[in-house]
Amino acid sequence: MNIDKDILYFDLPKMKKKEAIKLAGEKLLEHGLIDPEYIDSMLEKEKTDQTYIGNKVAIPHGTLEGKKYVKKSGIVILHFRDSIDYSGNDVNVIIGIAGLDGDHLEILSEIAIKLSSEEKVNNLINAGSPEEFIDIFKN
Beta-sheet pairing, 57-58 with 89-98: parallel
d(CA 55, CA 40): 26
Known catalytic residue: 104?
no
Catalytic residue among 31, 61, 79, 104: 61
d(CA 34, CA 31): 8
Per-residue HEC secondary structure of 74-135 comes to: EEEEEEEEEEEEECCEEEEEEEEEECCCCHHHHHHHHHHHHCCCHHHHHHHHCCCCHHHHHH
The string over 103-129, giving b where at least 16 C-beta atoms fall within 10 Å of a residue's C-beta and e elsewhere, is ebeebbeebeebbeeeeebebbbebee
Cite the active site residues: 61
